Amino acid sequence: MTELAPLDPDPADHGDLEQLGINVIRGLAMDAPRAANSGHPGTAMALAPLAHTLFTRVMRHDPSEPHWPDRDRFVLSNGHASILLYSMLYLTGYGLTLDDLRSFRRWGSRTPGHPELNHTPGVEVTTGPLGQGVANGVGMGIAERWLRTRFSPEVCDHHTYVIAGDGCFEEGISHEAASLAGHLQLGRLVYIYDDNHITIDGPTELSYSDDVGGRFSAYGWNVDDIGEVANDVDALEAALLRARADEDHPSLIILRSHIGYPSPHLTDTAKAHGDPFSEDEIRLTKELLGLPPDESFWVPDDVLDLYRRCIPRGQDFRAEWARRFAGWNGDKDRWDAAQGGHGLPGWESALPTFAPGDGPIATRQAIKKCLDATGGLIPGVMPGSADLTGNTGMAMADAEPQSFESPGGDLIHYGIREHGMGGVMTGMAAHRGVLPVGGTFFVFSDYMRGAVRVAALSDVHVIYSWTHDSVGLGQDGPTHQPIEQLAAVRAMPNLRVIRPADANETAQAWRVAVDEDGPTALILSRQALPVLAQTADLATTGVSRGAYVLAEVGDGAPQVVLIGTGSEVHVCVDAAVLLEATGVGSRVVSFPSWELFAEQDDEYRAEVFPAGVPRLAVEAASSFGWERYADATVCIDHFGASAPGEHNLEEFGFTPEHVATRATTLIAHSPGS
């Protein structure tokens, strides 16, 4: 790996120019929040020397090509300090302009209040909810090590740098992710703890007295407490290079900074954290910094020229990587598929199909059969689970667990760390090169929800295998039985939710989850379900359209539509047979995905749900939201009970007899009956 060359080949007065550049960053950190009348200037001011050092002395990055695969990754976990990142992206040449900084936090700008992936060039992950970036960085570290091992250091050989603050390390997700990183002995992870002793409420001592260094040492991290050197770029560079050299442990650099420095009245105050400085305070601070006190967004040409030298240097790094990649004799097709997060061409032909005689089979078991059959054709797939690997179908055949000893292992044991798992998966997907698939019980998706929301907001390609999806899981009782979770995850924008009815629908759900970008949640059963006679033929196109006509039972036009999802579809089929015996014709619709159905045109949706025919939805979960599709429901609007699963379902009305009775009542009370 080529070492970094200095930005200025003639360093005679380089230090003075560097210091001016750092002061310019501090000026921008004050000006943008002042212009927006909103924002967080203090942390950005304190960390200007650190950001300068990272972007100009340490990181290998190419501003002219932000998506170069072998770039170093940078994560600003304390995303409220976004103006620091935006200033660096502008100065080093990522395509932002001074007008973008002037539009900070305004409608339509490329500089929103917190960094957003896919919105601003150079932003690697969406950060804002504190601690998420800590977990994202761990995921990036896993992805980098795995790609380097599976493919070659010739094509993957970089580091991940994360800045995090007190808030990040107070949030529980950071504990989960840091513990996992230490256990896996993830080298090439360099975290800088901005130890500024300030939160919005006031000094951290109000609520926080952790020995952060001791905690991370106990996790297995290399900890370097460098103290009061926040303004010493040489000391910062030396610490970063020491940490970068550790291949066997993640590293934490503890940096004592002073928020708002060098403001004469607001340094080391909570006021510097979350409020723009007054015009008077900005003027006084700029005078101390040697900046024009009455000029906003001042960037002199020599400072901009200094930072823009990152572009040709980065292009040299990228060109070197391109030469290595061109000479690499590895499997480029597999590399490309892994980078895209998809399968090799034709991978779906390996999907298993199931006949009625193959059942009953739980959909959580069906997903394992899909993984086993196709995993070798999806080069980047990395299943894992929060201590429920076998329970959630993530125990892919012949998969080796990921570990320090086996860095190419493609099965991740996340441990009992659901939230951390979610954040790590987001980082893996944002890094690219891997397709993370993570499993836990559906009720514990609540523990993951913060990370899932960020994944949906970021549109990253992750797959969640959420199993034990109803009261049918049985005797573990209501603490483990999801009721409101389906409505909750369906309410989340940009999350594709699929609840398959049987093994064939599960296979097609897996195909959709792999082929389509963005996050997908598979909602799978614990209990065994029959393989329906129609799904081998109809599910191939039906699942991808979200809902489809599974069966027409009886003569003539249907008098009622029975809508089922997941484990309740076969109940609807059996109820339709009972209705036919009484002379009532019905249509059974399998409705695995509201999101996919919403993407269909009006004509198709009218074909599935003919006008004037009453609809009864049957789902072992909350009825919330079904009013948009159904006239009545057989659902659960209370918590579950501890009993064998079949007994629970019977008691709560998920039987063919009860569904047929409810359908008959619905018909009788429908207009025109």
Contact 173, 419 (CB under 8 A): yes
**360 preceded by a cis bond (ω within 30 of 0):** yes
In whole angstroms, give the CA distance from residue 208 to residue 16. Answer: 38
Q: Give the distance from CA 210 to its chain's centroid.
A: 28
Token pair of 596 as six digits:
């996919």
Structural element, H or E, at residue 74: strand 73-76
Q: Give the distance from CA 47 to its chain's centroid.
A: 26
The total of other beta-carbon atoms located within 10 Å of residue 265's CB is: 14
Contact 291, 27 (CB under 8 A): yes
Q: How many CA atoms lie less than 13 Å away from 484 in the CB half-sphere? A: 6
In whole angstroms, give the CA distance from residue 487 to residue 469. Answer: 12
Strand 520-523 with 496-498, pairing: parallel
Contact 121, 90 (CB under 8 A): no
In whole angstroms, give the CA distance from residue 512 to residue 500. Answer: 12
Q: Give the distance from CA 26 to its chain's centroid.
A: 31
Whole-angstrom CA distances from 47 to 358, 537, 585 are 61, 60, 70
The one-character DSSP state at 400 is P
What letters, b where the CB count within 10 A reaches 16 and e where it falls short, cover 229-264?
A: bbbebebbbebbeebbebeebbbbbbbbbbbbbbbe
In whole angstroms, give the CA distance from residue 35 to residue 106. Answer: 10
Token pair of 430 as six digits:
């944002």
Strand 520-523 with 463-467, pairing: parallel
In whole angstroms, give the CA distance from residue 514 to residue 462. Answer: 9
How far does the chain reach from its first CA to its final CA, in angstroms? Answer: 78
In whole angstroms, give the CA distance from residue 260 to residue 439. Answer: 43
Structural element, H or E, at residue 634: strand 632-634
Contact 115, 76 (CB under 8 A): yes
Token pair of 570 as six digits:
């076969």
The total of other beta-carbon atoms located within 10 Å of residue 122's CB is: 22
In whole angstroms, give the CA distance from residue 638 to residue 165. Answer: 41
Q: Which of 301, 390, 262, 403 is nearest to 21 (CA)?
A: 301
| CA torsion through residues 415, 416, 420, 423, sign | positive
The one-character DSSP state at 247 is S
In whole angstroms, give the CA distance from residue 69 to residue 155. Answer: 8
The total of other beta-carbon atoms located within 10 Å of residue 336's CB is: 12
By annotation, the residues acting in catalysis are: 418
The one-character DSSP state at 67 is T
Q: Which of 146, 206, 219 is nearest to 179 (CA)?
A: 219
In whole angstroms, give the CA distance from residue 125 to residue 73. Answer: 10
